[in-house]
Amino acid sequence: MTLTRKDFPKDFIFGAATAAYQIEGSQFGGAGPSHWDTFSATPGNVVGAESGAIACDHYHRYEQDFDLLKAGNFDAYRFSTSWSRVLPEGRGQVNQQGLDYYDRLTDALLERGIKPFQTLYHWEMPAALSDLGGWTNPDVHNWFGDFVDIIDDRIGDRMEAIATINEPWCASFLSHFHGIHAPGLRDIRAAARSMHYVLKAHGEAMTRLRAKGRKNLGIALNFEYAHPATEAKEDLRAAATEDAVYNKWFIEAMTQGTYPAEALEGLEAHLPKGWQDDLKTHIHQPLDWLGVNYYTRKIHAHDPNATAWPYTKPVDGHRATTQMGWEVYPEGLHHFLTRMKNDYIGDLPILVTENGMAWDDHLKDDAATDPERIAFIQSHLAAMKQAIDEGVNLQGFMYWSLLDNYEWAEGYDKRFGIVHVDFDTLKRTPKASYHMLKEALKRD
Ligand code: FCB
């Protein structure tokens, strides 16, 4: 059975998501370098040392891309406004061209009847601030707050909703502990500090936007189901530790004003002095909605050879995997939607701000058939519907992503789009999944 708009509540929002660095083309329009421009220029960090310099050239082609959204019967579009485009040095001189661009982009969405969902930080940390430590600098919340004021003054009044930060776990732990994303550090002190300061920056942005009367403020957290490899005590503990760092740290801090004990065990010694006060003054404050990004699960085991916390290692699972090597596990989406309601936010509105899959799609006779993606979307829609039927206040879903794009450390190999992009010609070709959604999202 194919789920369609009719299977969801009347005002349920269907959208597609992107992020500035992944599609715009960072070399256009006077943007300054971000830490992704420098990270990708360092051998070994990104497949093929590819960067977002041109990406999908969305900077020049947004009208065409928004025509696709409209023709696809989408209600909404989630995008990010790049800090380094608006403030090339991160602070000080504003790039007017950047503000003008986001202004035009907002109007182009509204003209087509598409609701704009803005993300204020989707990883475009200006290189000049990265030089000063980026997310590990104790002033970063003020720098971010100033950027937020500037961009909000220009377009904030026309946003349907605003998310402060995209995936704080990725911006901090993945990037400062695992070293997989920019700035590519592997340092527990930097990890702990960035995990704290990214939340403080979220709080600062909330406070500043509230002062301007904004009532549509949230954040997009990513969740990954943490499965124990076996029922052995050590493996249960490994999964609980990973779950705490990934899935509890950020939501618990914002909604309860505490950090989970299993994560503090490794991280507390590295947090900045006064962190408990920041939880009270900045981090623990109401949200208007919560964004949930969900892709997969991971299986965790105790690592007997590990010499340092967290003493865990990933284990292969048995589910089908995507082009990213991620297991397809829609049960995990249902799990997090109900868990958010039961453990943290009650009836606060939730949006699935990202969910999707990469596949090695090829064009044949100017079309792409992607039955794997169609099945993926349908199985995750079913998980969302089940959660709604059980009383979760889920109000929308944004597919990741509208376009094939720059998949960070994976370069351009991994294709998440419902629209195929030829990275030589930049031609867009809607895939079968786009046509499936277009049909499913038809309004009467
Ligand atoms: C998420 C990111 C998004 C995209 C997807 C595949 O972690 O928010 O930019 O890369 O993964």
Q: What span, in angstroms and rounded, lies between the C-alpha atoms of 396 and 76?
A: 9
Output the CA–CA distances (angstroms, integers) from residue 317 to 165, 304, 314, 385, in the order listed.
30, 19, 9, 26
How far is ligand 1, taken at its centre, from the CA of residue 14, in Å? 18
With beta carbons less than 8 A apart as the criterion, state whether 113 and 25 touch: no
For the four alpha carbons of 179, 181, 225 and 375, in that order, the dihedral sign comes to negative
- For ligand 1, what atom is nearest to the CA of residue 167? 8
- Does residue 24 carry a catalytic annotation? no
Decide: 58 and 121 in contact? Cβ < 8 Å.
Answer: no
Token pair 């980026």 is at which residue?
134
Distance 170 CA to ligand 1 centre (A): 9
> Which of the residues 262, 354, 372, 407 is marked catalytic?
354
Q: What is the pTM of this model?
A: 0.98
Residue for token pair 């351009």: 412
Whether residue 160 lies in the annotated active site: no
pLDDT tens, N- to C-terminus, the chain (444 residues): 799 999 999 999 999 999 999 999 999 999 999 999 999 999 999 999 999 999 999 999 999 999 999 999 999 999 999 999 999 999 999 999 999 999 999 999 999 999 999 999 999 999 999 999 999 999 999 999 999 999 999 999 999 999 999 999 999 999 999 999 999 999 999 999 999 999 999 999 999 999 999 999 999 999 999 999 999 999 999 999 999 999 999 999 999 999 999 999 999 999 999 999 999 999 999 999 999 999 999 999 999 999 999 999 999 999 999 999 999 999 999 999 999 999 999 999 999 999 999 999 999 988 899 999 999 999 999 999 999 999 999 999 999 999 999 999 999 999 999 999 999 999 999 999 999 999 999 998
Among the atoms of ligand 1, which is closest to the Cα of residue 22? Answer: 9
Whole-number pLDDT of residue 444: 81
* Ligand 1 contact via 166 beta carbon (within 6 Å): yes
Contacts 24+ apart (CB under 8 A), 279-283: 279/253, 281/203, 282/141, 282/199, 282/200, 282/202, 282/203, 282/204, 282/207, 283/199, 283/200, 283/202, 283/203, 283/253, 283/254, 283/257
Ligand 1 site-directed mutation target among 354, 402, 416, most atoms within 8 Å of CB: 354
